[in-house]
Amino acid sequence: MGRHDTYQKLIYFCLSILLLHNVLKNVEGLACNWGTMASHPLPPNIVVKLLRDNGFNKVKLFEADSGALRALGKSGIQVMVGIPNDLLATMASTVTAAELWVQQNVSQYISKYGTDIRYVAVGNEPFLKTYKDRFVHLTFPALQNVQAALVKAGLGRQVKVTVPLNADVYESGDGLPSSGDFRSDIKTLMISIVRFLADSVSPVTFNIYPFLSLNADPNFPREYAFFPGSGGGGGGTKPVVDGSISYTNVFDANFDTLVSALEKNGFDPNKVEIIVGEVGWPTDGDPNANPAMAQRFNQGLLNRILQGQGTPRRKTAPEVYIFSLVDEDIKSIDPGKFERHWGILSYDGAVKYPLSLGNGRQLVPAKGVRYQAREWCVLSPRAGGNVATWASSADYACQQADCTSLGPGSSCAALDSVANASYAFNMYFQRMDHRSGSCNFNGLGTTTKIDPSRGSCRFPIQIDTSRHETLRPRGNSGATEVKWRTVGAVAVAVAVGCAVFN
Ligand SMILES: *[C@@H]1O[C@H](CO)[C@@H](O)[C@H](O)[C@H]1NC(C)=O
Ligand SMILES: *[C@@H]1O[C@H](CO)[C@@H](O)[C@H](O)[C@H]1NC(C)=O
């Protein structure tokens, strides 16, 4: 066998390993968002264990949270780390500012902790209509500077940039996916950004929310928000016919509107890597948000992900980050009270509803969570029966703590006015970590060891954040180990290749 032949075969062999790797990449794990806008966030090491226990091998962070990035070190989980919108102006100003961010928030974690950072998300839905034009002129220069900074740091191949965008950056005049195009006010900008990302072999990222489609329009056909064959009776909705394609669900239609927008502007949608950065369904805070609907949507979504299913216009499945892992009780409720209830797990990592994650695996809860004592705060019988007596105290409690479950159509909406006040008092008491005086309310509050939960309404006990083991910082040795593991794997692959072809 000639030398030339051997090399050629070795190259084919390596190519096939790469191909196999890419095929496996699509089915080997799940991805989700990990938001930390919580008054009592779960300790990062518990979350990382939770991710691993449930087979998540990709996670998206909204900012460079130091605890999360350290805990993710050497976890086998790939990370997308976000740059918040309020840093876009700085990132857009100079490459030096972007270099500093990359040094502090990317390079450091890769080299010191072995954190497998794969993507930097520049901004979060910066072109959302509600932001007006605030970030429109900042996002692209910020993206270019961060990309330049990554290249300068020697991370150009390893870490890719992207911009998570809301699905309102594209639209369709007649509502059919085939008429999809980018929103007219930012069309040129979108084309520049997609071209830039495609040229740097980086993905485009879009957040798609069937829940919001259903919520925004009282005439929206309910079944169309869910995936077909995902239970709930179904069959009631006429499909949306678009030429030869019949759309049975809004996710496919929305995604294909994007696919058309890409095609219309000269991109090959099969060559552009597409990530769905957020998609999910909340469980509370709205009449359309409950565990049954969330389970139906998310199980349908997971089944598609596990099957690697694409859409009618793009057979290649996108990478999908589920929104979200756990609830966040201090998120802004401007978009709606449901904002604090997107988790597939509760604030404490408890399972809200069963989900099968493939290979016979069921969603499991977080382990090792420590709670405050089993004690609740309720309205004292001394308060009497007149709402006016406690109304201002309950209002105060709800201004400080999360009362979104009391809203119309929510899990605690059916409580009578006494239990309603108790709920508010308890949320405040938990938020204050049972601190002395935090169940006083001018003598209207009293503590109890009997769980006041009733029906769908849970009176929670907060996490005791002070009683968790703090994360031990891990030193430099980790990075070396990771490097050697990679070198080792390549060496083995080449050795096997040589053995096969000699
Ligand atoms: C690193 O990220 C954090 C969190 O987003 C931010 O507060 C900090 O300013 C960043 N560092 C630099 C140098 O920009
Ligand atoms: C329950 O409490 C909330 C928040 O304090 C309040 O807005 C609502 O009117 C109350 N409902 C009843 C039935 O008391």
Read off the pLDDT of residues 419-438 as tens digits, 9 standing for 90 and up: 999 999 999 999 999 999 99
Closest by CA to 291, choosing from 494, 457, 116, 97, is 457
Query: Quick one: what percent of the chain has pLDDT higher than 90?
Result: 84
- In whole angstroms, give the CA distance from residue 202 to residue 182: 19
- In angstroms, the Cα distances linking 96 to 103, 122, 137, 146 are 10, 16, 19, 9
Please write the tens of the pLDDT for every residue from 77-122.
Answer: 999 999 999 999 999 999 999 999 999 999 999 999 999 999 999 9
Closest by CA to 31, choosing from 83, 84, 77, is 77
Structure tokens given for 330: 């201090």
Q: 494 pLDDT exceeds 60?
A: no
Whether 467 is covered by a domain: the verdict is no
For the CA of 395, the nearest ligand: 2
- In whole angstroms, give the CA distance from residue 130 to residue 390: 37
**Ligand 1 closest atom vs CA 65:** 4
pTM of the model: 0.88
Whether 258 is covered by a domain: the verdict is yes
- Model confidence band, residue 502 (pLDDT cutoffs 50, 70, 90): very low
For the CA of 416, the nearest ligand: 2
Q: Whose CA is nearest to atom 13 of ligand 2?
A: 417
Q: 27 pLDDT exceeds 80?
A: no
For the CA of 109, the nearest ligand: 1
CB 149 within 8 A of CB 95: yes
Whether 364 is covered by a domain: the verdict is yes
The reported pLDDT for the residue numbered 59 is: 98
> Ligand 2, from 405, 420, 423: best to mutate by most atoms within 8 Å of Cβ?
420
- In whole angstroms, give the CA distance from residue 206 to residue 215: 19
Q: Whose CA is nearest to atom 1 of ligand 1?
A: 105
CB burial of 17-55 (b: ≥16 within 10 Å; e: otherwise) equals: eeeeeeeeeeeebbbbbbbbebbbbbbbbbbbbbbeebe
The reported pLDDT for the residue numbered 12 is: 55
> Ligand 1, from 69, 80, 99, 105: best to mutate by most atoms within 8 Å of Cβ?
105
Q: 52 pLDDT exceeds 70?
A: yes
Please write the tens of the pLDDT for every residue from 215-260.
Answer: 999 999 999 999 998 776 545 678 999 999 999 999 999 999 999 9
Same domain for 384 and 364, yes or no, is no
Same domain for 392 and 283, yes or no, is no
Average pLDDT along the chain:
90
Q: 194 pLDDT exceeds 70?
A: yes
Whether 384 is covered by a domain: the verdict is yes
Whether 6 is covered by a domain: the verdict is no
Structure tokens given for 267: 């991109």
Q: Quote the ligand 1 centre to 101 CA distance (angstroms).
A: 6
Residue 170: its H or E element = strand 170-172
The reported pLDDT for the residue numbered 1 is: 39
Where in the sequence is the domain holding 348, given as residue range(s)? 13-368+478-500
Residue 232: its H or E element = none
Q: Quote the ligand 1 centre to 131 CA distance (angstroms).
A: 22
CB of 101 within 6 A of ligand 1: the answer is: yes
The reported pLDDT for the residue numbered 220 is: 95
Q: 483 pLDDT exceeds 60?
A: no
Same domain for 306 and 413, yes or no, is no
**Ligand 1 closest atom vs CA 83:** 5
Q: Quote the ligand 1 centre to 10 CA distance (angstroms).
A: 44
Please write the tens of the pLDDT for every residue from 396-406.
Answer: 999 999 999 99
CB burial of 371-400 (b: ≥16 within 10 Å; e: otherwise) equals: ebeebbbbbbeebeeeeeebeebbeebbee
Whether 222 is covered by a domain: the verdict is yes
**Ligand 2 closest atom vs CA 387:** 14
Same domain for 62 and 101, yes or no, is yes
CB of 105 within 6 A of ligand 1: the answer is: yes
Q: Quote the ligand 2 centre to 327 CA distance (angstroms).
A: 22
Please write the tens of the pLDDT for every residue from 323-372.
Answer: 999 999 999 999 999 999 999 999 999 999 999 999 899 999 999 999 99
Whether 4 is covered by a domain: the verdict is no
The reported pLDDT for the residue numbered 9 is: 56
Same domain for 363 and 380, yes or no, is no
Same domain for 392 and 357, yes or no, is no
The reported pLDDT for the residue numbered 21 is: 46
319: β partners: 275
For the CA of 388, the nearest ligand: 2
Same domain for 181 and 330, yes or no, is yes
- Model confidence band, residue 490 (pLDDT cutoffs 50, 70, 90): very low
Residue 8: phi and psi, rounded to 5, are -60, -45
Same domain for 304 and 412, yes or no, is no
Helical H segments across 72-124, by residue range: 88-93, 95-102, 108-113
CB of 145 within 6 A of ligand 1: the answer is: no
Residue 23: its H or E element = helix 3-27
Q: 263 pLDDT exceeds 50?
A: yes
- In whole angstroms, give the CA distance from residue 313 to residue 250: 14
The reported pLDDT for the residue numbered 420 is: 98
Q: 501 pLDDT exceeds 50?
A: no
Q: 493 pLDDT exceeds 50?
A: no
Q: Quote the ligand 2 centre to 478 CA distance (angstroms).
A: 53
CATH number at residue 69: 3.20.20.80
Same domain for 335 and 455, yes or no, is no
Same domain for 335 and 450, yes or no, is no
Whether 3 is covered by a domain: the verdict is no
Q: 261 pLDDT exceeds 80?
A: yes
Q: Whose CA is nearest to atom 12 of ligand 1?
A: 101
Number of folded domains in the chain?
A: 2
Closest by CA to 234, choosing from 243, 245, 222, is 222
Q: Quote the ligand 2 centre to 219 CA distance (angstroms).
A: 28
Q: Whose CA is nearest to atom 13 of ligand 1?
A: 101
Q: 45 pLDDT exceeds 60?
A: yes
CB 303 within 8 A of CB 312: no
Same domain for 402 and 458, yes or no, is yes
The catalytic site residues sit at 125, 278
Same domain for 394 and 361, yes or no, is no
